[in-house]
Amino acid sequence: MIKENIIEISGLTKQYGQLTAVDHLTLSVQRGEIFGLLGPNGAGKTTTILMLLGLSEPTAGKIKVCGIDPAFQPFLVKEKVGYLPDEVGFYENLSGLDNLLYTAALNRIEASVAEERARHLLEQVGLTSKAHDKVQTYSRGMKQRLGLADILIKEPEVIILDEPTNGIDPEGVRELLALIKELNREKGMTVLLSSHHLYQVQQICDRVGLFVEGKLIAAGPIKELAFELFKNDPILLEVEVEPASAQLIAAIEANEHVTRVEQNRERLSIFCRQPVAAEIATTIVNHGARLFHLSQHDYGLDEIYHRYFEGGM
Amino acid sequence: MAAFLPEKISILFRRSPLTGEKASRAKHPFWVMVRKEVMDHINSWRFMILLGLMLLTTIASLYTAMSSLQRAIAEDTATSFVFLKLFTATDGSLPPFITFVSLLGPLIGIALGFDAINSERSRGTLSRLLAQPIPRDYIINAKFVASLLVITFMMIILGLLMMGMGILTTGIPPTPEEFWRVFFFLLVSIVYIGVWLNLAIMFSIKFKQAATSALSGLAVWLFFSLFFTMIVNIIVESTAPSHVADINELISYQGFVQNLLRISPSQLFSEATTTLLVPTIRTLGPITLEQASFAIAGPLPLGQSLLLVWPQLTCLAAAAFIIFGISYVLFMKQEVRSRS
């Protein structure tokens, strides 16, 4: 099935004086997917998001969100897109419910409808019991969940989350990500989220885009990205042996599927083309060494990320 | 005070008592914002303190006016504007009401505006607001309209209170002309405070820290109320024409000094309000003895008084608009980043 592109970015560039924050970015996000925008701080993720919402003007390039150009019709885009900024803030002296109702009123949602939706959303994000408490009593994680409810009250087609997991404890992150996934599944909502926490994003994203210094250096499903990057040695075996003698390493390297071996005391990292764990184990045992640990490793985003930064690929 | 707040706001947001049956159509977002801002103001400690301060001022100036009213009436047999004396008369121990307003008005303006934009920014609510389908200028416009509404209410309350207590204590009701003079006085006060409100809003856009913004506003206020006259005096002393200069030169020099003083909004305000509340003032510029020689000593009618202060009024309004314009441009051009 060919999916419709809900966000299309082509040749997008943003310059602040001499600094190029976003450099000829071309990217598309399909309707109904969760897309992760990954990159270190200052890579241009937030700038890109601001341009998607029409809050910042691109220096060059074209953007289409739901078929609308946000630079010219920011209103229409803001009606269809929910944006949860990094470190979202609320009116602390109002209750969570009133904050939601205020947002609803700004979106011209009729009062009775707004109230119904707000209550439903508060239930969905697990804040029903705190609905009438002032926001100043909320924890960071609760505010983030309220933020999610806040952007959902206008029933957007796309939600954009800027660093949604920042500063939340691991349990809070897990709940938030589960909630995002649920929304995506139930309502077919498109989600674009930016993060520098690779591991977290990995769990829920259908596709990711890697962002470094304003450039998109790779985009695709995480598995494909890993394969693309690690064509030569897609499999990594972690081995712990004693003694890790030079002869043993030489013998392992002699295996035709092994591309290289890195040693760190008793730990060996063996990069290979084929899953040859059994053969390696035999080799080790035959050399009279003691095998304490052997595991096969799939590449996660951390490795992908790491490679980009150290290898400059 | 804070306890009844959430419910109150909820009610306001949910149902509009004004629109009644037509409530099916959602309210315009701009008025939703104005309403919220007004609610924020009147439920804040800041507003309570300001109101308390102004109430004290009212009582104090009424007291000082009462104690000198007898003498003021005795001195001035030509006119019958006794009621207006309540606003201008003083026994010397405390300044009269108009001086109080001229002095404390800026404080009200600054207090209501100094954190208009930067507080939204530091709370992280600005970027959330901007992500809603509302034009960006609604934010600054709503802040301004809401604060000005609050100021208007405050001034009207104080003015009516002053009049009411005046009637009670003196037993003299105001004539229609006196009423209208007080009305215009209040109007000028609102415009005057509006100038300072806009200045404070401008600082709140310019400075990310609320404290910096408040301090800047207060600095400008102190500059105009304390140092400005001093500086003008220094200029006057160094540039004054010699004693042998002819009369035209002296008059034009006097005009120059006066115009210099009029750079200060409080000078404009006091000229305008004094003329409105003291109908016997016939001119604000220098006047020669021969020009005055055939004038009949008597009060000016309201229309003429208004005509006399029209330039002052226009200047005050213009100052308010110019400062608001600058704030508007600053705000529209500002890059939106969360909390930075």
Asked if residue A93 belongs to a domain, the reply is yes
Interface contact B282, partner A, CB < 8 A: no
Instruction: Give the strand order in the sheet containing A19-30.
Output: A19-30, A5-16, A60-65
Residues A68, A215, single domain; the answer is yes
Asked if residue A40 belongs to a domain, the reply is yes
CA distance A149 to A98: 12
CA distance B81 to B302: 12
Give me the mean pLDDT over the A16-41 stretch. Answer: 87
With 60 as the cut, is the pLDDT of residue B21 above it? Answer: no
Interface contact B19, partner A, CB < 8 A: no
Residues A287, A171, single domain; the answer is no
Percentage of chain A modeled with pLDDT above 70 = 91
Confidence category of residue B15, pLDDT binned at 50, 70, 90: very low
Residues A104, A48, single domain; the answer is yes
Give me the mean pLDDT over the A67-76 stretch. Answer: 88
CB contacts of B128 in chain A (<8 Å) are: 83, 85, 88-90, 103, 147, 150
With 80 as the cut, is the pLDDT of residue B167 above it? Answer: yes
Burial track A139-157 (b if 16+ CB lie within 10 A, e otherwise) = eebbbbbbbbbbbbbbebb
Interface contact B22, partner A, CB < 8 A: no
Where does a domain end: A220, A247, A262?
A: A220
Give me the mean pLDDT over the A144-172 stretch. Answer: 89
Q: How many domains does chain A have?
A: 2
The predicted structure's pLDDT at residue B287? 67
The predicted structure's pLDDT at residue B288? 66
Identify which of A50, A87, A110 has the shortest CB distance to residue B124.
A87
Interface contact A95, partner B, CB < 8 A: yes
Confidence category of residue B3, pLDDT binned at 50, 70, 90: very low
Give me the mean pLDDT over the B269-293 stretch. Answer: 77
Give me the mean pLDDT over the B334-340 stretch. Answer: 63
Q: Dump pLDDT digits (tens) for A84-143.
A: 988 888 999 999 999 999 999 999 999 899 999 999 999 988 899 999 999 999 988 889
Tell me, rounded to whole angstroms, the distance of Cα B280 from its chain centroid. Answer: 23
The predicted structure's pLDDT at residue B113? 93
CA distance A269 to A266: 10
Q: Is A82 helix (H, G, I), strand (E, B) or coil?
A: strand
With 60 as the cut, is the pLDDT of residue B22 above it? Answer: no
What residue numbers bound the domain in which A239 lies?
231-311
Confidence category of residue A192, pLDDT binned at 50, 70, 90: very high
Asked if residue A225 belongs to a domain, the reply is no
CA distance B141 to B147: 10
Residues A256, A188, single domain; the answer is no
With 70 as the cut, is the pLDDT of residue B295 above it? Answer: no
Q: Dump pLDDT digits (tens) for B132-155.
A: 999 889 999 999 999 999 999 999
**Which CATH number covers residue A240?**
3.30.70.100
With 80 as the cut, is the pLDDT of residue B271 above it? Answer: yes
Contact flag B131-A102 (C-beta cutoff 8 Å): no
The predicted structure's pLDDT at residue B152? 95
Task: Report the range of poorest mean pLDDT among A181-185, A202-206, B136-140, B194-198.
Answer: A202-206
Interface test with A, best of B8, B12, B13, B122 (most A CBs within 10 A): B13
Closest-CA residue of B relative to A57 is B335
Residues A205, A294, single domain; the answer is no
Residues A148, A167, single domain; the answer is yes
Contact flag A56-B335 (C-beta cutoff 8 Å): yes
The predicted structure's pLDDT at residue A232? 67
Cis, bond preceding A243 (omega within 30 deg of 0): yes
Residues A173, A261, single domain; the answer is no
Which of A154, A156, A100 shows the shortest CA–CA distance to A123?
A100
The predicted structure's pLDDT at residue A171? 85
Tokens of B76: 């001035």
Which residues, numbered 168 to 197 in chain A, qualify as contacts with chain B under a Cβ-Cβ cut-off of 8 Å? none
The residue type found at A164 is P
Give me the mean pLDDT over the A246-267 stretch. Answer: 84
Interface contact B6, partner A, CB < 8 A: yes
Residues A55, A131, single domain; the answer is yes
With 90 as the cut, is the pLDDT of residue B322 above it? Answer: yes
Where does a domain end: A167, A186, A220?
A: A220
Burial track A82-114 (b if 16+ CB lie within 10 A, e otherwise) = bbbbbbbbbbebbbbbbbbbbbbbbbbbebeeb
Residues A215, A302, single domain; the answer is no
Interface test with B, best of A41, A46, A88 (most B CBs within 10 A): A88
CB contacts of A166 in chain B (<8 Å) are: none
Residues A252, A166, single domain; the answer is no
State how far the alpha carbon of B80 is from the alpha carbons of B77, B165, B177, B183, in Å: 7, 19, 11, 18
With 60 as the cut, is the pLDDT of residue A281 above it? Answer: yes
Contact flag B125-A91 (C-beta cutoff 8 Å): yes
* φ and ψ of B44, to 5 deg: -95, 155
Domain ranges of chain B: 28-333
How many cross-chain Cβ pairs, A to B, lie less than 8 Å apart?
Answer: 108
Residues A140, A201, single domain; the answer is yes
Interface test with B, best of A97, A106, A116 (most B CBs within 10 A): A106
Tell me, rounded to whole angstroms, the distance of Cα A157 from its chain centroid. Answer: 19
**Which CATH number covers residue A126?**
3.40.50.300
Residues A165, A243, single domain; the answer is no
CA angle A43–A49–A50, rounded 5-degree value:
110
The predicted structure's pLDDT at residue B11? 44
Identify which of B24, B29, B336 has the shortest CB distance to residue A106.
B29
